[in-house]
Structure 1
């Protein structure tokens, strides 16, 4: 009844003309809810920590219980415990105590049971999954993380079987009708000698873990089937570019592929691995007639991909000789909301610049298309990097965008702020000698590069003063420490007056 009333009331507010303007004002909630879904990895980690904590409690509790079962066989235990432990030693008797003999090794005894073997298996699986999910392993040995994470299959299978061991046992319903525990507990010496207290019968509880696992497993299988279907779809590689900065650019087409700026895809190369799918941010714009990714050689899989495409030797390959690629996606990301604000601030650190290639391209297309209604009025783009040459392809993109914006008379729309955090003495001398030139010596942009790290207090204060009553979306992709600082800045410089400037923080994470 509650569910019906909720749906009925929801439809009422959703459809009634009287609430049209209310829906216009409150439409932003859709974006807020979507941003919560963008935190799927944070949610995933939180669940994992919860599993680890509860698994630890579960294991410790069982170890304590096993020790108590064992002590119940000893002479130091009470008479009732001894009596209960002795049940099951004669024919046609069920048992309550899984430890059948005091003179036994409890560890070996338990490891010969279904509950013990599966318990050990799922514990080892969980430990391997969590220890291989640390940041250092993911960054340096991604394949180790990827393959080890698939031990979740062993974990779930073991979890379903685990309860079949029926380690914790209770009195059967039929036995409870004949054996009144309230009376017989205090008259255990009369067991088997009176009709009022026959010997109790015991059994384990039917396993129920499958009920909890079934729903998620069905959803997972559906997701795998969708990925397999997408794997079968043809991907046409239209262009391969090997950039001098050690970056491989792949331009592709796929039937029915539709994307938004800032989204990402999963890429698989069957020639390298039939199982591995790796996420890459799309660097093309939705307005392009292709979709593209830029891949740096930073691990075993990406190095193998470079070799497969002949990028290391810079060997030209005929299109039919190129390895097959499979694409799953695209998938949403926080950065897709960049067009929902009047003012957007895009901040990238190092390789975190990749999602903004697609966004900046799309901004240019929308600015140049007179038929496009664009809510966005101004974009501030910040890029903090140690070595721009490592992302030469992106610097080239910025130069092209800047030149095109100037040509269209929209130079004010996009404001670049490039910060170089590392340079040597020879570079400093070269920079000083060419400082008065019209374009920056490092990036080739009209807007000069800053040296050092940005003072975010000054930057946010400047933006807040320029836009005293606007909603400003802040989009960031980069390290966690900087993310926390930027989030604080957004809260600090948002006006207490809802009519004043408001900063809304969005972090890219996948």
Structure 2
């Protein structure tokens, strides 16, 4: 029986800790405001909505502290490098940074909704108290004179003193109200533009809208400065609410009941977010410095299936297998950066990326490159990176299972090239003993630009008597009747009609149960690293199979699942 804790145990633990902190903060601050004596009079005006507004605010502070950290990719690469020799499990968690970023965003959205609804109720109840709709005490608290403009309780002031302070005026002119509206609108735009359908089809809309986080955090820092939630202050003599709450007519007239004094709490949100904001500013400065560094073109090649290969050079650039870079082309956009996995090997003196036509930015880049006159250098290119990914750990396993879908083969191109160089140089540090490689494509042309590398590897392994080191299987998932007929006619040839390789192309999709069973039988006591660069749906299938076919006791095969995330 498979054991999901092999692949997800530490993830469950980390999520449990995160959720426990969220629950603790919510409960702690809920009861702090719901039971605290200093908020007795405030609760009398607002009821439980006070606690329902403040508890989510505490959770928001914690999650706004976290939300920027998973996208500080240079920081994550630094941390990932520090764990390279000691903790595979921790590195796997760092590879899930974007999933955690989304999870924190969902929590921020939920807590914002609760916080906003509670404060809308608070504004309504403040206004009703000012109008005398409720009891005598509520009216007295709302009518407190305030010569210094600091000791009032109800922010919606007395009509005869401040006739303009209706609820709408409070929401759109006070610091707390105006920043709250700005923050909420920014958050709604950020979240809605992050939906999968928008991000996949209109990446530029997602990219630009996502940068409203700058406005979001600016508003967040100043939001608490309005000090809209007020608590009772200590006076001399003290105002005992237990004795004085039913004697509002005597406030200030008898020594036992001086006029109660109120003040807003010290703003705390900025203390939660200032650290991550500084880290993120440093992150962006580093990206800008890298943008200014010169990038030279070594070769520009148009591959089949509208795939552009760029071979680039940059001073001091060092990479590992499976890593990725962000590219910026000012001729298209000064601001947009897009991630691409490198297809070159660390042993080469250049780095390369393969870019598939998949949106406005990539289409424009390919169009620019196709229109370049012969011998003309390409447009200015900014490069940020390299950054570590799950595929970087492929050589940490004795057995590796690589699964690529379409252009998702790119990290494995880097890996297989590096293997070729390691064999060529007889690298004694190569720990990997066996590699299974699966590539799924919709059309035959997609195989063409990668088949030559597989042919070289195939020949190299045979010459060294290591034909069993690399087992690769190519799957064509889409074909027509004419293609099927052509394959049948040439079926008896030694090489595949599609790729020219000795390994024949398979048609349809892999039977993963059969593949995992075969790998487990061939490697009965091994730890197998399963790596995917492809769609989420395929990732769910492979993760399930890794759990199903792992036997979590000594001397049995264990599959560790790793997925590329951008």
TM-score by length of 1: 0.89
CA contact under 8 A between 1:388 and 1:395: conserved in structure 2?
A: no
* Deviation string, structure 1 residues 343-376 (Cα, Å, up to 9, x no partner): 1110112222111110111111112222433211
Alpha-carbon distance in 2 for matches of 1:191, 1:317:
89
Counterpart secondary structure, 1:251: strand
Q: Which residue of 2 aligns with 1:138?
A: 199
Partner of 2:209: 148
Structure-2 separation of matches of 1:345 and 1:196: 79
Q: Which residue of 2 aligns with 1:49?
A: 106
**Displacement after TM superposition at 1:28 (Å):** 7.5
Aligned to 1:289: 349
Shift of 1:126: 0.4
Q: 94, 97, 100: which is aligned to 1:37?
A: 94
- CA distance in structure 2 between the partners assigned to 1:75 and 1:323 by the alignment: 70
- Matches of 2:260 and 2:245 in 1, distance apart? 11
**Quick one: structure 1 residues 463 and 107, their matched pair in 2 at CA, closer, same or farther if it must change by over 3 Å?**
same
The answer to whether the 8 Å contact 2:84/2:91 transfers is: no
How far, CA to CA, are the matches of 2:236 and 2:101 in structure 1? Answer: 44
| Residue 312 of structure 2 corresponds to residue 255 of structure 1 | no
Cα distance, 1:268–1:79 mapped onto 2, change above 3 Å: same
Give the superposed CA RMSD.
2.1
- Structure 1 residues 346 and 278: CA distance shift in structure 2, 3 A: same
Q: What whole-Å deviation, never above 9, does each CA across 1:449-499 have from its counterpart, x for those lacking one?
A: 111111111111111111111111111111122211111211221224321
How far off its partner does 1:178 sit? 4.1
Please report how far the alpha carbon of residue 505 of structure 1 lies from its aligned counterpart in structure 2 after TM superposition.
1.1
Partner of 1:498: 554
Could you say what secondary structure the match of 1:323 adopts? coil
Aligned-partner Cα distance in 1 for 2:265–2:236: 15
Bigger drift between 493-502 and 135-144 goes to: 493-502
Kindly state the Cα deviation for residue 406 of structure 1 after the two structures are TM-superposed: 2.9
Moved more, 406-415 or 484-493: 406-415
**1:116 aligns to what?**
177
Pick from 153, 165, 173 the counterpart of residue 96 of structure 1: 153
CA apart distance, 1:391: 4.8
- Which is further off, 197-206 or 233-242? 197-206
- Flag the 1:101–1:188 CA change in 2: closer, same or farther, 3 A: closer
- C-alpha contact 2:150 2:263 (8 A) present in aligned 1: no
In the alignment, which of 362, 366, 376 is matched to residue 318 of structure 1?
Answer: 376
Measured in 2, the distance between the counterparts of 1:128 and 1:391 equals 40
Per the alignment, residue 457 of structure 2 pairs with 401
**Contact (CA 8 Å) 1:263, 1:332: kept in 2 or not?**
yes
Corresponding residue number in structure 1 for 2:140: 83
Structure 2 match to 1:481: 537
- State the alpha-carbon separation in 1 of the partners of residues 148 and 280 from structure 2: 46
How far, CA to CA, are the matches of 1:437 and 1:137 in structure 2? 46
Between the aligned partners of 1:253 and 1:408, the Cα distance in structure 2 is 32
Q: Give the direction of change, closer, same or farther, for the CA distance of 1:400–1:436 in structure 2 (3 Å limit).
A: same
Q: Is the 8 A contact 2:356 2:407 kept in 1?
A: no
Pairing partner for 1:428 from 464, 479, 484:
484
Secondary structure in 1 matching 2:317: coil
Larger deviation, residues 125-134 vs 491-500? 491-500
**Is the CA contact (8 Å cut-off) linking 1:163 and 1:208 kept in structure 2?**
yes
Match among 376, 381, 384 for residue 432 of structure 2: 376
Secondary structure of 2:173's counterpart equals coil
Q: Contact 1:242–1:314 at 8 Å: present in 2 too?
A: no
Pairwise CA distance, 1:53: 1.0
Contact 1:118 1:162 in 2 (8 A): yes
- Partner residue of 2:28? none
- The structure showing larger relative contact order (alpha-carbon pairs under 8 Å, at least 6 residues apart) is 2
Q: Secondary structure at the match of 2:272?
A: helix
Q: Deviations over 1:128-168 (max 9, x none)?
A: 10111111111111111111110000000111111122221
The alignment covers a number of residue pairs equal to 480
**Aligned mates of 1:92, 1:198 — CA distance in 2:** 18
Tell me how far apart the structure 1 counterparts of residues 493 and 204 of structure 2 sit (CA, whole Å): 47
SS of the equivalent of 2:288 reads: helix
**Does the CA contact (< 8 Å) of 1:368 and 1:408 recur in 2?**
no
The normalised TM-score by structure 2 is 0.81
Kindly report which structure 2 residues correspond to 1:218-297, keeping only aligned pairs within 5 A, or say none. 218-297=278-357
Q: Alpha carbons of 1:34 and 1:97: their partners in 2 closer, same or farther (altered >3 Å)?
A: same
- For structure 1, the residue ranges without an aligned partner over 5 or more in a row are 1-25
**1:72 paired residue among 129, 132, 141:** 129
Partner of 1:349: 405
Aligned to 1:195: 255
CA distance in 2, matches of 1:144, 1:391: 32
Change (3 A) 1:396 1:101: farther
Q: Distance in 1 between matches of 2:400 and 2:374?
A: 41
Segment of structure 1 superposing worse, 289-298 or 239-248? 239-248
SS at match of 1:111: helix
Instruction: Check conservation: 2:406, 2:442, Cα contact below 8 A.
Output: yes
Deviation, structure 1 residue 194: 2.1
